[in-house]
Amino acid sequence: MKEKKEPAMSTTGEKPGKGVYTCNHCGETVYLDDDSDTLPPCPRCHRTEYSP
pLDDT of residue 6: 60
Cβ atoms within 10 Å of 23's Cβ, excluding its own: 20
pLDDT of residue 7: 64
Cβ atoms within 10 Å of 47's Cβ, excluding its own: 15
pLDDT of residue 5: 60
Mean pLDDT per block of 10 residues along the chain (52 residues) reads 68 96 98 97 98 94
Q: Which residues pair with 32 in a beta bridge?
A: 19
Name the region of 47 (left: φ>0; alpha: ψ -120 to 50; beta: rest): beta
pTM of the complete model:
0.83
pLDDT of residue 32: 98
pLDDT of residue 8: 81
Residue type at position 51: S
